[in-house]
Amino acid sequence: MKKLCTLTLAFALATLLSFPSVNLSQPLTFARIAAWNQQGVRFDNQGQVIPVSKPAQLRAAILGINPDVIALSEVNSRASLDEIVATPFANGAIYKVDMDDNQPVAQKIAVLFKNSSDISVSNRRAVPGSDDGQPDRLRKAWAFDVKVRNFDFLLIAVHLKSGRGNAERATRNRQTRAIARFIRQETSNTDEKDVLVVGDYHMVPGQDAQNFNSLSPGSANHEFLRFISSGLSRSHIGRCINASQFEGNLLDGFAISKGFTREWTGFIKVLQLQALLPNMFCQRYLSTVSDHLPMLARFRVSSVDDD
């Protein structure tokens, strides 16, 4: 019965989501780049880490998102991801994992990407200073060189300091300044100008302007990042109001190079998995899957790269 429910869950999710699967036998025309805090780690009342094992739920969610590349935060271990990619998904996709399993924090960052000749993820490195000098407490941002067919870019996956107070904002300012320095250095030392900064920002548009400014400093005409996610709906579930409605903030973010990433199609969306999973009303999703919803953007990859 458990196996049958899992299969039904995965099939129904793939059917309900309105985004068609990529035909794996054909060259890619668009890249689906996603970010999701999958909440693989929780804490008890004493603040002790409780790793969460939920391979069936994660496989169903990944199948529904159908990303070519997805940055995941709050991963508890490499083994937890290896378990969900061990076999092909129902749409035929096979995923690979790229992560440093020696990250000193419990909530780790990883990238999943489709095993395809059109897709490569390489040169993983930590962003210096992005943990604010607190490696056992705060999460470093991680950078990857990504190529999806003709579109290559620097992907920076983040999970910044949480909290709505001034002290937390000050910490995020230091983290985002470190990431901004890294972007300047990387884009000045190479010909690559396309940059995607994705993940759990813990920054709310309209409330954390200082953090956004620190991540992309300069005047409106000279900022080097464009926050394409800032007009989206809530991505974090703070409290369920009823089976389908919730309160929360837009804590997750997606930024691209303002002057260079012309490959973006204009499509970006927060996927409402809590409403699309069968029998997965808001409170059950919050309790058994995650308190965040995934964010997905689409990019052209069939034309010659513009940088």
Domains for the chain: give ranges and CATH numbers. Answer: 31-298 (3.60.10.10)
What distance in Å separates the CA atoms of residue 39 and residue 73, rounded to the nearest whole number? Answer: 7
Q: Is the pLDDT of residue 25 over 60?
A: no
What distance in Å separates the CA atoms of residue 15 and residue 17, rounded to the nearest whole number? Answer: 6
Mean pLDDT, the chain, rounded, equals 88
Mean pLDDT to the nearest integer, 290-303:
95
Lowest mean pLDDT across 50-54, 151-155, 193-197, 238-242: 50-54
Mean pLDDT to the nearest integer, 241-253:
92
Hey, what are 189's tokens? Answer: 């030392």
User: Over the stretch 167-223, which tens digit does the pLDDT of each residue have?
Assistant: 999 999 999 999 999 999 999 888 889 999 999 999 999 999 999 999 998 756 667
pLDDT at 307: 59
pLDDT at 18: 40
Mean pLDDT to the nearest integer, 238-266:
94
- Taken as a whole, the chain contains a residue count of 307
Q: Are 76 and 108 in contact (CB under 8 A)?
A: yes
- In the block, tokens 């190079």 appear at 257
Residue 31 — pLDDT band, cuts 50, 70, 90? very high
Those residues whose C-beta lies under 8 Å from the C-beta of residue 263, and which sit 6 or more positions away, are 151, 194, 299, 300, 301, 303, 305, 306
What distance in Å separates the CA atoms of residue 101 and residue 103, rounded to the nearest whole number? Answer: 6
The CA distances from residue 191 to 110, 167, 188, 220, in Å, are 25, 37, 7, 24
Mean pLDDT to the nearest integer, 144-168:
97
pLDDT at 1: 45
pLDDT at 45: 78
User: Over the stretch 52-96, which tens digit does the pLDDT of each residue have?
Assistant: 788 999 999 999 899 999 999 999 999 999 999 999 999 999 999
pLDDT at 26: 61
